Amino acid sequence: MSTVTDINKLFYNLVHNLGNIYDDTVALIAIFRSPLFWYSRTEWSNIGYYSGDIVHQIGYKPDDYDPYTHPN
């Protein structure tokens, strides 16, 4: 909850993990455009994986975040 309520951590996660978020979004778009989307259990599983990964990238506490340390 501390990450979700702190706008600085959310912004840090968003910017720091933007590449992974972009890759997951592209994969989700490819799944939704697939004609086998409605019939494949694997596609539905992948939707859950990529959606969860996006939430994880944005919402979880970053390992290397320290607001009191400034780079020199």
Return the residue matching tokens 């019939």.
39
| Distance between CA atoms of residues 67 and 64, nearest Å | 10
pLDDT at 72: 46
Containing structural domain, residue 19: 2-59
Give the angle 41-27-47 at the CA atoms, nearest 5°: 35
Q: For 68, phi and psi rounded to 5 degrees?
A: -100, -5
pLDDT at 19: 93
Residue 42 counted as domain residue: yes
| pLDDT of 70 strictly over 60 | no
Number of domains in the chain: 1
Task: For residue range 7-66, list pLDDT tens digits in order.
Answer: 888 888 888 889 999 999 999 999 989 887 778 888 889 999 999 999 999 888 777 766
Residue 70 counted as domain residue: no
